[in-house]
Amino acid sequence: MSAMIAAPSPLREASASFVRDRIALAAMVLLCLLLTAALGASLLSPQNPYDLAQLDILDARLAPGSASSAGGTYWLGSDGQGRDLLSAILYGLRISLGVGILSTLVALALGLAIGLASARAGGWIDALVMRVVDLQLSFPSILVALILLAVAGQGVDRIIVALIVVQWAYYARTVRGAALVELKREYVDAAVCAGYGEARILFRHVLPNVLPPLIVVATVQVAHAIALEATLSFLGLGLPITEPSLGLLIANGYTYLLAGQYWISMFPGLALLLTIVAINLVGDRLRDVLNPRLQ
Amino acid sequence: MNKKAMISFASSAFALMLLLTGPASAADLRIGLSGEVTSLDPHLLASQPNLTVARHVFESLTDVDPQTKLIPGLAESWRALDALTWEFKLRRGVKFHDGSEFTAEDAVFSIARPLSIKGSPGGFASSVRAVESATAVDRHTLRVRTKYPYGALPEELNSILIVSRKHAQNAGPEDFDSGRAMVGTGPYRFVRYQRGDRLELARHDNWWGKTPPWTRVTLRVIPADPSRTAALLSGELDVIEHVPSADLKNIIKNNKLRVSQNTSWRTILLHLDQYRAQPPGVRGPDGKPLADHPFRALRVRRAMSMAINRNAIAERVMEGLAVPAANIVSPDVFGHNTALKPLPYDPEGAKRLLEEAGYPKGFRITLVGPNNRYINDQQILQTVAQLLTRVGIQTRVEAMPMSAFLGRVRKEETAVSLLGWGSFAADLALRSLVATPNPEKGYGAWNWGRYANPKVDTLMEQALASVDRGKREALAREANTLAMQDLAFIPLHHQVVSWAMRADLAYAPRTDEFTFAHHFLPGVR
């Protein structure tokens, strides 16, 4: 009896509401599968696509389903160096998802701290931070990332840094807006009267209330970051050419498209597309669930 | 979809529109070039893309036929008066595009001009290094004195294009790009230039040669391989050079198109650092430094050469657009030795040799090369890396645009580097690639590994000093053989170049890879 009266926990309510949408549920399942595949890439892949000694140039550009000279089968075909595309896609997914999630988390933390501080400080500090954010947001993110990589050089660590730089401003702006509203609420005044410290009020009281919109922004941003990483790799600014991620696989296969060897570009492209669509569907549903006004 | 593909779709759609609105006149020829043109100034930078466009407007004293045999150009004949003096009889009645007459004074001016350009990235200095003085004996006789006996002078002067003294005096590279100084004797005259996009040319009707069939020529610069192919397929272009190997099969099958191909003079090779005790990027399998000068051991160089499956590269990477190499110059070229055969692919033998040389577990290297210069260069780098890794030489690959790559080489940051070299003659190639580096004499400017072999040097010098061509070729062949048996560098293959064009056109494929509008013939169905 008492259990029925007690308010259900917000998390449980949200997840119950989430699964009511079948498409979002399917996207969630797909995303989990992709994540598992990426995490288990080294166990699932028939070949280590980054170990040059395992590649055989005589197996280059074989069609999907062809037998490999080592006795296996190239289910999705092989690329111009005789690399098994299935393995390359699994490893590439690991890079894409890893780079996307890691850069988003760091940018989220950074933007959160800056946005909260800016909202609380107000005055000229707030104005200055927001002008910097405006400046940052007025440049296309691909341009900023390209400039950063051109200056800093190539490498996966630099790509992550570049992605953080182009993302933090979104979070800072979102958090600041939400925090300004929350800071005017009575519970903040109450906390101030209770004599709590500045940091405690910001992080224990205000932060939980600004999180829902941030989660939505972050989910969409992961997809954005993955697309950006793929673009940069496509342009040849990513990892070494012997360790192709999805973008570079697509770029390599592009040479063979007119020759009818579609699989080198198409399958990595499909993997990228599925990942981004799944994340966006999940993000959309999260926005609906977490936004009380839309319910 | 990606950006590049969208651009090529857009350009195909645009081409379709052009086709519908008004087909190009029958006497027009539109050619797609593969290399970036950095300047129209013919004396600024000796790069093939720049010279391809410049040679439509300008000519040189000596010319070469499609097989790189020396033939008369603006000079009708030449001979060595003595070991140090050459006399060139110039063609009479040759007119510049402005109608003025070509004389020996223009030749004297043009030979001096390359070295007078300030801040030139160069490449021409080696061609005129031997020249002591050039003088006009009369309007149609040029005399060139060399600092030392030099048999290759006629070949060298092929690199020096003749500009009009009247128009090029005090002209800088910008005056050529604007068209003001673009006054030559060649078959085409300058009309319009859009940097990075196209050069438009019109026929020079007073040209001394056989009147070319095309009244207007457009040279388009399209470095992206798929876009170049798409432009040909859509009918936006009549001809493309450097047909991407992946598209070759389909283009050959297409009965609206024709392909013309030939073994080029360009040899693709690997330079190995032989001068530093610890070459950069070279380490033991455990990451520790190796014994001194690992690449000085012939066994190591042989092992690396045997580890490379040249036939697999030719077939799988190049789609047949390569001839496995054992020579410094390709088969048509002066000084080639047909008796030299590539080392057969033998990974087990390579492992044994490495073990004998003291590397039973191999070692690590970094292979560096361009990704936008030679046919499939980036794929070749990866395949070589994979083949070397198989015999225990763990190879990391760094591919970058040619300009960035040359910067790295100049800073001496590379130990194993990919280079392509084309030359008229084995002795000239040896002087650049194999001779012990000597900046004063201009030797070994591209000998990045600083291989040094006094016997090869002596033979090469004797060859270059011979004004008798028969004697010179024998010496050049001997020097070539010696250097290749000693693996001064590791030869990979000779590039095969191809042109694709409308089926009613014909082109004699050139060993020197040049694309000349005036050599395309119409109406040959």
Q: Which residues of chain B have pLDDT under 50?
A: 1-7, 14-23
**Does A260 contact chain B (CB < 8 Å)?**
yes
Contact residues, chain B, for A55 at CB < 8 Å: 386
C-alpha A217/C-alpha A100 separation (Å) is 13
Nearest to A159 by CA among A216, A234, A217, A90: A234
Number of H helices, E strands in chain B: 17, 19
What are residue B198's DSSP bridge partners? B194, B220
Q: Cα–Cα distance between A220 and A215 in angstroms, integer?
A: 9
- The answer to whether the beta carbons of residues B271 and B449 sit under 8 Å apart is yes
Total number of residues shown for chain A: 295
Handedness of CA B462, B465, B471, B473 (dihedral sign): positive
pLDDT at B155: 93
pLDDT at A8 over 70: no
Residue B206 sits at the vertex; the CA angle it makes with B201 and B211, to the nearest 5 degrees, is 70
Mean residue pLDDT across chain A: 89
**A54, A232, A239, A241: best to mutate for the B interface, most B CBs within 10 A:** A241
- pLDDT confidence bin for A236, thresholds 50/70/90: confident
Which helix H or strand E contains B432, and what residues bound it? Answer: helix B426-433
Question: Given this model, what pLDDT does residue A92 score?
Answer: 94
B379/A53 touch (CB, cutoff 8 Å), yes or no: no
Task: Provide the ipTM.
Answer: 0.82
pLDDT of residue B18: 45
In chain B, positions 123-182, which contact chain A (CB-CB < 8 Å)? none
Interface membership of B246 toward A (CB under 8 Å)? yes
A190 touches chain B (CB under 8 A): no
CA dist B368 and B373 (Å) reads 13
Tokens of B289: 């430094």
Which one is predicted more confidently, A293 or A42?
Answer: A42
| B40 touches A at CB < 8 Å | no
- SS3 state of residue B29: strand
**DSSP category for residue B207:** -
Chain A interface includes B250 (CB < 8 A): yes
CB-based contact, B230 to chain A, within 8 Å: yes
- A291: pLDDT strictly greater than 80: no
Nearest by CB to B383, from A53, A57, A240: name it.
A57
The reply to whether B8 touches chain A by the CB within 8 Å rule is no
Domain locations in chain A as residue ranges = 14-45+82-294
Chain A residues lying within 8 Å of B34, measured CB to CB: none
* Residue B341: Cβ within 10 Å count: 10
Per-residue model confidence as pLDDT tens digits over B10-42: 555 544 444 444 445 568 999 999 988 989 999
Q: What is the pLDDT at residue B19?
A: 44
* pLDDT at residue A242, as a whole number: 87
DSSP state of B210: P
> What's the 3-state SS for A51-68?
CHHHCCHHHCCCCCCEEC
Q: Where do runs of H (alpha helix) occur along A72-155?
A: 85-121, 123-138, 141-152
User: Closest Cα partner for B108 from B76, B84, B72, B132?
Assistant: B132
Please say if the pLDDT value at position A194 is more than 80.
yes
Joined tokens for residue B161: 């294009």
| Helix %, strand %, coil % of chain B (to 5) | 35, 25, 40
Query: Which DSSP symbol is given to B135?
Result: E
A241 in contact with chain B, both atoms CB, cutoff 8 A:
yes
- Would you mind telling me the total number of residues written for chain B in this entry? 525
Amino acid B123: pLDDT: 74
First to last CA, chain B: 39
Cα B157 to Cα A143, B73, B125, B444, distances in angstroms: 46, 10, 11, 20
pLDDT for residue A284 is more than 60: yes
pLDDT of residue B21: 40
Mind telling me how many Å the CA of A181 is from chain B's nearest CA?
Answer: 41
How much is the pLDDT for B188?
97
CB contact under 8 A, A241 and B397: yes
Q: What are the residues whose beta carbons fall under 8 Å from the beta carbon of B202, sequence distance 6 or more?
A: B188, B189, B191, B215, B216, B217
DSSP B45: B
Q: Tokens 């980054």 correspond to what residue?
A: A50
Which of A211-224 are b and which e, b meaning 16 or more Cβ less than 10 Å from the residue's Cβ? ebbbebbbbbbbbb
Is residue B66 within 8 A of residue B333, CB to CB? The reply is no
Contact A241 B247 (CB under 8 A): no
CATH 3.30.230.70 assigned to A14-45+82-294: no
Please report the number of interchain residue pairs, chain A to chain B, with beta-carbon separation below 8 angstroms.
75
DSSP state, residue B395: E
Q: How far is CA B152 from CA B86, B330, B476, B514, in A?
A: 11, 18, 11, 21
Q: What is the pTM of this model?
A: 0.85
